């Protein structure tokens, strides 16, 4: 239960950071493109926030599995979600000729992505480190019991 709380705490912290960065980026763009920059920033934040949250959730789930090779597959799956969803939304918006593209959506998407990537990576590493420490602690206690 504590692990679930930790995941949601990390997701909340990540999305709050993204909202702040997007607000600052949108405020900077408002001077040149108008108030539609806030809508572009909000959509960029939601897209990257969902992708990073799903990637963090996937990393957390895969770090708890006991298989030795599940860590690599979890990282790859999280990377696919983290990169694929924003790219798919960007390509879809280009196909639909969305007015948000003129309002700086692409730049705000990249800004949010570049902030989310290191934050989400550090949080994922915390899950891996916690799992490694938990496994090494259980190995030590299992060795002590068998001796």
- pLDDT for the residue 61: 83
- pLDDT for the residue 143: 45
- pLDDT for the residue 114: 94
In a domain, 146, yes or no: no
In a domain, 95, yes or no: yes
In a domain, 84, yes or no: yes
Sign (positive/negative) of CA torsion 56, 60, 62, 63? positive
In a domain, 33, yes or no: yes
In a domain, 131, yes or no: no
Structure tokens at 124: 């994922």
In a domain, 91, yes or no: yes
Question: Which parts of the chain sit beneath pLDDT 70?
Answer: 1, 66-72, 131-147
In a domain, 66, yes or no: yes
Number of domains in the chain: 1
Its pTM stands at 0.82
Q: Which domain holds residue 91?
A: 15-126
Sign (positive/negative) of CA torsion 113, 39, 12, 81? negative
Q: Measuring CA to CA, how many Å separate 37 from each of 29, 106, 113, 141, 142?
A: 6, 11, 17, 56, 57
In a domain, 72, yes or no: yes
């Amino acid at each position: 239960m504590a692990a679930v709380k930790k995941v949601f705490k990390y997701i909340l912290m990540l999305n709050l950071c993204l909202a702040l960065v997007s607000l600052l980026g949108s405020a900077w763009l408002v001077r040149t493109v108008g108030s539609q920059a806030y809508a572009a920033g909000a959509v960029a934040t939601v897209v990257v926030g969902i992708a990073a949250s799903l990637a963090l959730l996937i990393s957390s789930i895969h770090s708890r599995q006991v298989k030795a090779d599940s860590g690599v597959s979890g990282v790859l799956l999280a990377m696919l979600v983290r990169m694929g969803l924003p790219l798919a939304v960007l390509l879809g918006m280009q196909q639909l000729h969305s007015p948000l593209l003129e309002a700086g959506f692409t730049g705000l998407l990249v800004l949010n992505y570049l902030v989310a990537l290191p934050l989400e990576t550090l949080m994922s590493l915390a899950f891996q480190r916690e799992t490694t420490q938990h496994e090494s602690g259980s190995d030590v206690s299992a060795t002590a019991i068998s001796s």
